[in-house]
Amino acid sequence: MKSTQNNMQTISQGNTTHLNRLGWSPFFQDQLGNEDIASGIARVIGVRRNSLVVSQGASEMLVTVSGSITNTREAAYPAVGDWVLLQDSFIITVLARQNALVRKESGRKKHKENDRLGQDQVIAANLDRVFIVCGLDRDFNLRRIERYLTLVYNCGISPEIILTKADLHQNPGECLDEVETVACGVPVYLVSARDDEGVLALKSSLPAGETAALIGSSGAGKSTLINRLYGKDIQTTGSVSENLGKGKHTTTNRDLIILPTGGMLIDNPGIREVALAAGDANSLSAFPDIEKVARSCRYLDCTHTHEPGCQVLIAVSNGELNDERLKSYQKIRDELRYISDREVKSAARVERERWKGVAQKIKTINKKKYHR
C-alpha cells in the first residue's frame, strides 16, 4: 500500500468534505498512515455484472477490479459500502472494513474440493445500522424476524425493524407489540401509505453521513420506502402476487443511495433464504430473554431440551417464555454451531459427532426410565 500512496497526489479540503459526506472517518484515514487523503480514494456505491460504480463525493465513475483482487476469495471482493483505492479506473486495494453484513450463499451450496458450506456473501459493508423490513401482509413472520436479528447481531451491527404496509392490516399496533416481544430493545417503526409519521421518524434516525442497509423479502416494500424517504420515485416498484403473497424482484442490483437529508441507504434484492454465516454461536443477542433465564440453569452446557433443573424449560411451562420462541432459539443455536464446526471439520465428522451426542442423550433418558 505504501508504494501506492507515494504515487498519489493529495486533494483539496473541499474534496475531503465530499468524502466525509460519504462516511469517511478516522478509522479509514488511519489505514493510510500519515498520508493525506489521496485522490484515488472512493466508496463503492453500486455493483454491476462486470463492473462497480464508485463515488468520490462530487463525481461518480464506472470501474473494474484489478486481477490481484479478482483472484481473492469472495468475501474479500469489493462490496457496496466499501472504501477502495483507485488507479487508472481500477480498484487496486479494498480498505479494511469497520463491519460487514454477511450471510452464506443461498441454497447452502457445497464446494466439492473441500466438502464445506458455501462461501460467505457480503451484502454490504461499513454500516451504522441495518433496517429489517417486513410487510404487514403475508410477509409478516416473527420467526423470520428472529433470524434476521441473529444475522445482523452476528455481524456486530445494530438492527432496527420497519413494519411496512400498516394501512393494509386491521390492527397494526398488535403486530408492533408482537415484534417488540421478540426484538428486545430494538427500535421498531410502523410505516403506512396513509400518513408520513413513520417515514419522518425514520428520517430522523439516519443522520447525514451515516449508512444503513435495507434487508427483507421481495415485496416487503423496500423500494417504495426508499422512494418515500427520498421524496420522489428513484427506485422501481412492483406489485405483489395476490395468490402467492410474494413480491417481484424489482430490485436486482445493490446500490448506495444518498438521501437529500445526507443519510445513506443501501438497497438490496429481496432475500428468499436467511442463510446465517458463522458467528458467535454462544452469544445469541436476538434472544436476551432466554439467555437471561439460562444463566440460572443447573448445567453450564444445558441445551434446554431435557436436562433436570433447566430454568428455561421451567419458564416455558410457567408461561414466562414462549415455547415457539424457544424452538426458534434452539434451531438457530444448533445451526450456528453446525456452521461453525463445518468451517474446520468435514461434514461426515460433524454428523458422526452429532449422532454420537444424540445417542448419549437417549442412553441417559433410558437410564432414568429404568431407575424409576
Q: Report the alpha-carbon distance of residue 281 to residue 334 in Å, rounded.
A: 8
Q: 31-35, 154-158, 246-250, 260-264: which has the minimum mean pLDDT?
A: 246-250
Pick the CATH number of 288-370 from 3.30.1330.20, 3.40.50.2300, 1.10.40.50, 1.10.260.40: 1.10.40.50
Q: What is the largest CA-CA distance in the chain?
A: 82
Pick the CATH number of 2-98 from 3.50.50.100, 2.30.30.140, 3.30.450.40, 3.20.20.70: 2.30.30.140
Contact 54, 63 (CB under 8 A): yes
| 240/215: higher pLDDT | 215
**Global model pTM greater than 0.85:** no
Q: Among 355, 197, 333, 194, which Cα is nearest to 276's?
A: 333
Q: In terms of CATH, what superfamily is 103-267? A: P-loop containing nucleotide triphosphate hydrolases (3.40.50.300)
Q: Which three cell numbers stand for residue 162?
A: 420497519
- Quick one: pLDDT at residue 137? 86
| 100-159 confidence digits (pLDDT tens) | 999 877 654 444 444 445 678 899 999 999 999 999 988 899 999 999 999 999 999 999
Contact 125, 82 (CB under 8 A): yes
CA dihedral (331, 332, 335, 340) positive or negative = negative
Cβ-based neighbour number of residue 101 at 10 Å: 26
- Residue ranges covered by each domain of the chain: 2-98, 103-267, 288-370
| 183/11: higher pLDDT | 183
Is the pLDDT reported for residue 211 higher than 60?
Answer: yes
Q: Report the alpha-carbon distance of residue 248 to residue 113 in Å, rounded.
A: 35
